């Protein structure tokens, strides 16, 4: 039985061509700024995002924390969505490392910040309150179903940030997916932010890494915080070569992931007891299973060779490099089989 791993787009394995690029990478010491492959990746990323400079980091979490530390002073607040990755999945690094408060406001089902709450959350100049130091957005938005923030959404937040003289950071872990969904260059989306990061290790199929971008001055200071966070990786061109390959070869194939997510969603919608929550915009498919214990449902699917997560009362499937149309069709068929068997997994009446 083939294992169909839909847990995340982080489970991708580098292609043989990507591995060859890594093996043949020209190397130097990146802490000294002398790794030519890292420098090439950073220049490529800055150009794609329309920024002056960029910085290779170990992960999206490190990129986001580096950005917060660079933008803010200790004791300030960062405004984030209440469903944001930064708030929920990044181990409280802003609090623990930076002495920064995370002030959460409501995300709607499309990943947008509530504008009224955003305006109210920005602190006035009052000695009783911490200063607001930064606004953070997420695009695409993981816990809101892979939802895409379009230019109108981004411009609305940018306008509020400008009126209050605040910087704006975008956690763009899946920003290339947003660009593909909207059919716009990612520089258009990144242009609304002072800093933006994207993951190499998700849809782009690299084994490790993220890239943070912004102005030259911002990135110069961010290098200091990356070093503080253990991100000085010396001969990092081995990893950067995967990123260079990905930017040249993996971006255009994201449309396949979106199409496979659509096919999976359409198939799941035909299964009695399955409800999409919400229909996918990109490569993330969320659904609920009526009347079933989701942990048991996930275990049973794994026994049938489909790997996924119960994420907060919903099942998440993520399509990615290595998953083909036949795989999602087979995964749906296995769900149908499990649902048809049914009764052993239903919760006891209370």
Quote the pTM value: 0.95
Domain of 269, CATH number, reads 3.90.1150.10
Q: What is the mean pLDDT of residues 129-134?
A: 98
The pLDDT, as a whole number, for residue 343 is: 55
Assigned domain for 350 exists: no
Question: Distance between CA atoms of 82 and 96, rounded to whole angstroms?
Answer: 19
pLDDT in tens, 41-96: 999 999 999 999 999 999 999 999 999 999 999 999 999 999 999 999 999 999 99
Per-residue pLDDT band at 272 (split at 50, 70, 90): very high
Q: Quickly count: other Cβ atoms within 10 Å of residue 328's Cβ.
A: 26
Q: Which residues contact 342 (CB under 8 A, 6 or more apart)?
A: none
Per-residue pLDDT band at 350 (split at 50, 70, 90): very low
Domain of 17, CATH number, reads 3.40.640.10
Please report the sign of the dihedral spanned by the C-alpha atoms of residue 54, residue 60, residue 66, residue 71: positive
Per-residue pLDDT band at 291 (split at 50, 70, 90): confident
Per-residue pLDDT band at 346 (split at 50, 70, 90): very low
- pLDDT greater than 50 at residue 347: no
**95 and 192 together in one domain:** yes
- pLDDT greater than 60 at residue 247: yes
Question: Distance between CA atoms of 78 and 57, rounded to whole angstroms?
Answer: 21
150 within 8 A of 159, measured Cβ to Cβ: no
Task: Report CA Rg, the chain.
Answer: 21
The boundaries of the domain holding residue 173 are 10-249
Determine how β-strand 132-138 pairs with β-strand 315-318.
unpaired
- pLDDT greater than 50 at residue 263: yes
56 within 8 A of 227, measured Cβ to Cβ: no
Domain boundary among 249, 267, 297: 249
Domain boundary among 222, 249, 276: 249
**283 and 185 together in one domain:** no
């Amino acid at each position: 039985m083939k294992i169909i791993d839909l847990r995340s787009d982080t489970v991708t394995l580098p292609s043989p061509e990507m591995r060859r690029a890594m093996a043949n990478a020209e190397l130097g010491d990146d802490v000294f700024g002398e790794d030519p492959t890292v420098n090439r990746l950073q220049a490529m990323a800055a150009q794609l995002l329309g920024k002056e400079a960029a910085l290779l980091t170990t992960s999206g979490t490190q990129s986001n924390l580096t950005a917060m530390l660079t933008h803010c002073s200790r004791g300030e607040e960062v405004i984030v969505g209440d469903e944001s990755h930064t708030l929920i999945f990044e181990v409280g690094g802003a609090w623990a490392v930076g002495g920064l408060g995370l002030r959460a406001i409501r995300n709607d089902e499309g990943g947008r910040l509530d504008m009224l709450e955003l305006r109210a959350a920005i602190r006035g100049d009052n000695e009783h309150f911490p200063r607001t130091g930064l606004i953070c957005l997420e695009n695409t938005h993981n816990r809101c179903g892979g939802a895409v923030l379009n230019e109108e959404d981004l411009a609305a937040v940018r306008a509020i940030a400008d009126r209050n003289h605040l910087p704006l950071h975008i956690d763009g872990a899946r920003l290339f997916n947003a660009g593909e969904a909207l059919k716009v260059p990612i520089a258009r989306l990144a242009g609304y932010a002072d800093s933006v990061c994207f993951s190499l290790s998700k849809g782009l199929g690299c084994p490790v890494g993220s890239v943070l971008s912004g102005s030259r001055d911002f990135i110069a200071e961010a290098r200091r915080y990356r070093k503080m966070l253990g991100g000085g990786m010396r001969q990092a061109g081995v990893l950067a070569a995967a990123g260079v390959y990905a930017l040249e070869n993996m971006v255009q194939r994201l449309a396949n992931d979106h199409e496979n997510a659509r096919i999976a969603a359409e198939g799941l919608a035909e299964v009695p007891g399955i409800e999409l929550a919400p229909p996918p915009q990109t490569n993330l498919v969320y659904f609920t299973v009526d009347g079933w214990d989701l942990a048991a449902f996930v275990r049973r699917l794994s026994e049938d060779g489909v790997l996924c997560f119960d994420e907060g009362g919903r099942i998440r499937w993520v399509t990615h490099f290595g998953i083909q149309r036949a795989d999602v069709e087979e995964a749906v068929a296995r769900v149908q089989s499990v649902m048809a068997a049914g009764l052993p997994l239903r919760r006891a009446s209370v």
